[in-house]
Amino acid sequence: MEAKVYNNKGAANGSVKLPEKVFGVRWNGDLVSQTLNSMRSSQRAGTADAKGRGDVRGGGRKPWKQKGTGRARHGSTRSPIWVGGGAAHGPKSEKDYDRKVNKKARNKTLFTLLSAKFKDGEILFIDDIQMNDIKTKNAVDTLKNLSKIEGYSKLTYKKGNRALIFTPAKSDKTIKSFRNLNTVSVEETRNMDPLTVAQYKYIIVSNPEESIKILSARS
């Protein structure tokens, strides 16, 4: 497998060999769904808490006698069907939403998503996207240049998660240059995870040879 490599001006600048085990994995919808749902669940704070009828203050006295009033029988004014009563089956803060995802399953899901995006033409390989200065204008100009490549015209759209840029090494100048663009995010390749990849339309891989080495080591 091979893919074209471009420079930050949007011009073709060679090619790179892609490992089948990373970019040629067959689609497995069940695995992807299970992994992403588990990761989303683990991100829940679990801070929502509702008071049940035993937690609400008051309601100790029976509102009226059991029989003879013509009204329905009630034992407390803090029943869930009363205004001011406790919640029925409400959320509790002690509930743990964390769900374990095995390392192999997480990596396989990542490679499955990367393979699907590569097949759909949503992964772009750039020889180097590092910024020499901290300037948002330079980041915008880079995206405009890359949007001229066939199939990537939506890179410059101002709504939604447009592009997730991965670099083999951390670069503060690059991160800060793209920081003001709310449609783009910059991460290190070693921190690539399936949930983040699934949230963005395009994946831009900088310095593909080094990035692919990092990814291949996870297989």
Q: Count up the domains in the chain and report the number.
A: 2
Both 107 and 166 in one domain: the answer is yes
Token pair 């074209």 is found at 4
Same domain, 88 and 23: no
pLDDT in tens, 6-18: 998 889 989 999 9
Same domain (yes/no): 151, 60: no
Same domain, 206 and 119: yes
What average pLDDT score do residues 81-88 get? 93
Per-residue pLDDT tens for 125-136?
999 888 888 999
Instruction: Check whether residue 123 and residue 105 sit in a common domain.
Output: yes
Q: 19 and 77 in one domain?
A: no
Give the CATH number, domain containing residue 107.
Answer: 3.40.1370.10
- Residue 195 in contact with residue 44, Cβ under 8 Å? no
Domain that holds residue 64: 48-96
Contact yes or no for 157/182 (Cβ under 8 A): no
- pLDDT tier for residue 180 given thresholds of 50, 70 and 90: very high
**What does pTM read for this prediction?**
0.84
